[in-house]
Chains A and B, each alone.
Chain A
Amino acid sequence: RKEVEQDPGPFNVPEGATVAFNCTYSNSASQSFFWYRQDCRKEPKLLMSVYSSGNEDGRFTAQLNRASQYISLLIRDSKLSDSATYLCVVNDSSASKIIFGSGTRLSIRP
């Protein structure tokens, strides 16, 4: 089993739709979690950190489920500009391990 797993997609949804991705991780000692966005041929950029209580930033909501060892990202009212690859990141600082998922491709169609 991979340490961090994501559905590679692609997810192809119409503009205005709500879409959700999950990311599972295998190490229960993992301590911090993030979602990054990567546009084609560009560097990854932080979208949001994921906190235990869940957090929201505009149309984006991130949640952490430690019991089931997954994090999720929900995008509401999707825009064409949301088309990108979304990477989940799991950080186990005690083991000095930072693991990036392979990413989920999202394509928003008009």
Chain B
Amino acid sequence: IAGITQAPTSQILAAGRRMTLRCTQDMRHNAMYWYRQDLGLGLRLIHYSNTAGTTGKGEVPDGYSVSRANTDDFPLTLASAVPSQTSVYFCASSDSSYNEQFFGPGTRLTVL
């Protein structure tokens, strides 16, 4: 792995299903983030983690949960997907909350 990866690349999901988006980084960054990007609304922060073992809510956390069991992984879970969660999801990491963020390639999620 070089940098930050996300899986899956894209997914079509039936409403009501549970889905976990995976994010892994190998840069030993302390902070990790999940964003969604929708046309006209830009990037919106869903959840973040400043260090392993801690998480926080961003601007649009409802319907999503995260965990940070270790430094490298930061999965995002949709417990019961709804069509309004159709979006492109980006994971990012940074060595501190002050510094620049590095983004994964994104996951395109469609909820029908």
Q: Is the CB of B98 within 8 A of A31?
A: yes
Interface size class of B (residues with CB under 8 A): 20 to 34
Instruction: Give the A interface residue count (CB, 8 A).
Output: 19
Q: Is the CB of B42 within 8 A of A98?
A: no
Cα–Cα, bound, A100→B106 (Å): 16
Q: Is the CB of A102 within 8 A of B103?
A: no
Q: List 10 A-B contacts (CB under 8 A).
A: A42-B105, A46-B101, A87-B42, A91-B98, A93-B97, A96-B97, A98-B48, A98-B101, A100-B35, A103-B42
Residues of B near A42 (CB, < 8 A) are 105-106
Residues of A near B105 (CB, < 8 A) are 42-43
Question: Known interface pairs A87-B43, A100-B42, A102-B40. Does A43 touch B100 (Cβ–Cβ under 8 Å)?
Answer: no
Q: Is the CB of A44 within 8 A of B103?
A: yes
**Interface membership of B33, Cβ < 8 A:** yes
Cα–Cα, bound, A101→B33 (Å): 16
Interface residues of A in 37-74 (CB under 8 A from B): 42-46, 49
Question: Known interface pairs A43-B104, A96-B48. Does A102 touch B56 (Cβ–Cβ under 8 Å)?
Answer: no
- Contact flags B79-112 to A (C-beta < 8 A → 1, else 0): 0000000000010000001111111111000000
Cα–Cα, bound, A91→B43 (Å): 14
Give which listed residue, A32, A44, A45, A93, contacts B43 with CB less than 8 A: A44
**Interface membership of B45, Cβ < 8 A:** yes
Residues of B near A89 (CB, < 8 A) are 101
